[in-house]
Chain A
Amino acid sequence: MAGGIGCAKLVEEYRHGDRQPAITETIDRTVIAYAKLVEEYRHGDSNRAIAEVIDWKPEAVLDAIQEVEKAERPPLAGGPARDVLASFPAAVMLHTEAGLYLNYRRGVGPNQWPLAMRLAELKPVTSEQGAFLRAWYHAFGLYLLGSYLHPEAFALLGRGLQRFPDDVSIALALGQASESIGTVPRKGELVFVRPDPSKERKFPLRAAEDIYRSLLARDPLLGEAKLRLGRVLALTGRADLALGELRVVATGNDARLRYLAHLFSGDILRRGSRLVDARPEFRQALDAWPGGQAAALGLAETLHSLGERAKAASGLTAAIQDNGDSVRSDPFRSYSVGDEAEQRQLLEMVKAMARK
């Protein structure tokens, strides 16, 4: 284990002799061990490598990463740091996975994700490494979002967009993260959903609006951006503008987008006490996506408000009735924090890219 490198001889040399060689030798050994770990992750037993890196002392990992960063700058030299640099996506993914493991287990240990982010700042040498980095920012950002770590997702995706300003997937995910900060309670945070977002929540919604507008300026037909722009406009109190955007999306071919556009339109009308107008919007949402629970709930709540309780109950029952193991999907459930299965799949894909 690299954390135990400070052997008696080196300690003695540090205490009584020339300190610098002892430090240098320690770091060299650390880098060699780190390079082996990255290699093992890349070509060997990735789980064992993850378990080992969690066991490392934080200072040892930082020493190793600093050496890898130095190897990026001229004069270029060979050696283990250079080896890590050549396959740094594996190092990025090693720390990403170690962080995921700790997060899942609620375990203690050095925070791995900042290490992954630091390594991701290295310059890609090949086009494959560039493709990996784009995919990593996107996949990991969405995964953090799905884990209700919205600010972390926002920070990561923001950095990703700075590095790859033309990447539509990263931009959309960043908008989604920003939107979520403004609307979704974080895991462990007390629930406090308000009819009108407070100032602190409006700011991220405005940031999301800017992102969507910028995407639409480049591609006016980008339905996802238009839908999300409509939603953000509604949440920031511009109902008429929102309805205008959503109506366009509601005429498109994508059933998921049509469902959400009608759902959000129904919500706007419901908030505006236009219950009778809200009803057909929820119904059209259900036409676009049969069994969509959010629309069924919206319709049931509207009918309940109108005093039509029997209809409210029967419609809702149809949407929530258990049919064996099949659980109907609802695009709204993944609108804010994404789809868990898709997020796992994306991470697996990125992992495969790093372990090539």
Chain B
Amino acid sequence: MCCAGAVNSLLRVRSRSLLTGVPFVVHLLPITLSCWFGALGAQAADQPAPRFETRVEVVKVSVLVHGAEGPILGLRSTDFEVRDNGVPQALEGVVFEELPLNVILDFDVSGSMNFDVSQSVKGQRMTALKSAAHALVAGLRPGDQAALLTFATMVRLRQPLTSDLTALHTRINALEGEGGTSLVDGTFSAIALGDAVPGRVLAVVFTDGQENTSWLRQSDVLDAAKRSEVVVYGVRVGGEDSGFLDDVASTTGGRRLQAGSPEGLQQAFLEILREFRTRYLLRYTPRGIKREGWHRLDVRVKGRPAKVLLRKGYLVTP
């Protein structure tokens, strides 16, 4: 990224954060201060510019902490132990339930969505999907936003991020099933759009799972998932499974759910929303490690048995 671009991006992120009242966090956006100072120095005629190699990056990690009785709530930064590529990191903040949600509903609306959810349960998949989506939207709180993205042969952004729930319900009602299934393209679109949004982003990717028309490759999207802070939850009806959705979900710290009935689909959507709200957002500036490359993340809760669900790591490209 060029210097001006980096600075502008930073300012844009900052101004949005101030407007929404969200604590300022740089989204894994590397800002090379040497580059910034270099640009200023260039204006000062023949004076050689001072060069600094300092980089400012804040890493955000969304984690779900489960004990034997369910989610463990009320944890503080001192309760967590975070390692980045094996090196302990000092947390700068832990946010829990304070941030509004940005939910990207990313739905398969291919022709196969007109079939039954399962042989034992009557009712079309599309009808079940709409009911489940309405229930999820109804579960949003003031300040939360949602977008509606669909994929069949083509990917379509039906509704950009909005807090207007009526608009979302209207868009959901208008969905119809037709065409092929670009699951890989649809999943990438949710990640790419989500990465431009400040705050917590949840992508709910629903499919009946017969990919056949995508342009992008699965490996492209898995790489994008490694670079992303969007948490992807997958929901599937039907038995066929390539493992793609599982891989994307686990890479981003989400998981994949299976639904075998219309009621099951609605339960899955509501479970995702409930679960996402109980996640902690950890923040730290990496110290003592090489910047570029793959960073394996390890988060533990001190002093008590707990299962922690989080993304496997993150990728910083040169």
Contact = CB atoms under 8 A, between A and B. Distances in A.
Interface of A: 148, 184-185, 187-188, 190-193, 195, 293-294, 297-298, 300-301, 304-310, 312-314, 316-317, 320-322, 327-328, 330, 332-333, 337, 340
Contact of B215 (A298, A316, A320, A321): A298
26 contacts: A148-B212, A187-B210, A191-B212, A192-B242, A193-B184, A195-B217, A293-B154, A294-B215, A297-B185, A297-B188, A297-B189, A297-B215, A301-B188, A301-B216, A301-B220, A301-B224, A307-B1, A307-B29, A309-B29, A309-B195, A309-B196, A316-B189, A321-B160, A327-B156, A330-B154, A332-B215
A293 B217 contact: no
B153 A333 contact: yes
B316 to A, nearest CB: 9
B296 interface: no
Contacts of B30: 307
A194 B36 CA distance: 41
Residue among A192, A310, A327 having the largest count of chain B Cβ atoms under 10 Å: A310
Interface in B146-167: 149, 153-160
Nearest to A328: B154
B193 interface: yes
Contacts of B241: 190
Contact of A316 (B193, B213, B240): B193
B15 interface: no
Given A187-B212, A313-B196, 12 more contacts: A188-B240, A293-B185, A297-B155, A304-B191, A304-B195, A307-B1, A307-B317, A309-B192, A312-B192, A316-B189, A316-B192, A340-B179
B223 A305 contact: yes
Contacts, number: 113
A187 B192 CA distance: 28
A187 B180 CA distance: 10
Contacts of A304: 191-192, 195, 224, 227
B34 interface: no
A321 B193 CA distance: 11
A67 B1 CA distance: 75
A34 B158 CA distance: 52
A188 B216 CA distance: 19
B188 A195 contact: no
Contacts of A316: 189, 192-193
Contacts of A320: 149, 154-157, 189
Contacts of B211: 185, 191, 193
Contacts of B179: 340
